[in-house]
Amino acid sequence: MKSGLRAQVRQRALGRCEYCQTPDWLTVLPHEVDHIRAVKHEGPTELANLSWACARCNAFKGSDVSSYVPGTEHLVRLFNPRVDIWDNHFSWNCPEIIGLSEVAQATISLLRLNAASRLTIRQALMDDGLFFSTQTTH
């Protein structure tokens, strides 16, 4: 991928993972450019199909574009940072990310956004004033 395109994706995301909102300067592993629609599913490598994702979110998402709403048999699409507004789907109960829609609930589950280890790290970063939730707290 051309470095200019990578820089555009990062700049558009303000250096934050577009799924869990973690700033890239706070992670050990570098953030990655995620193909929202995977290349193996004929997703193009162009700005409209790319998002900025931390290594964990990108690894858990993989090539998936859908998942089940937890506790149901209802299959829904995942959160798409190019068409969805984060605040319309997610909220904060610091350090937990709350799903306001079925799309968000499925995304939280598949990407393990509230795994115990992630909550512990987010809380420690918040306590140190390094991680700020930009969304409204419940």
Task: Flag whether the pTM goes above 0.85.
Answer: yes
pLDDT of residue 134: 58
pLDDT of residue 138: 30
- Token pair listed for 51: 């998002």
pLDDT of residue 131: 86
Cα–Cα dist 42/45, whole Å: 9
Which residues, in sequence order, are bridge partners of residue 34?
51
Cα–Cα dist 137/117, whole Å: 20
Cα–Cα dist 22/114, whole Å: 13
Instruction: Report domain extents, the chain.
Output: 3-127
Task: List Cβ<8 Å contacts ≥24 apart for 9-16.
Answer: 9/33, 9/47, 9/50, 9/51, 9/52, 10/52, 12/47, 12/52, 13/51, 13/52, 13/81, 15/52, 16/52
pLDDT of residue 137: 36
- Token pair listed for 9: 């994706």
Average pLDDT of adjacent 10-residue blocks, the chain of 138 residues = 91 97 94 96 96 98 97 98 97 96 98 97 92 55
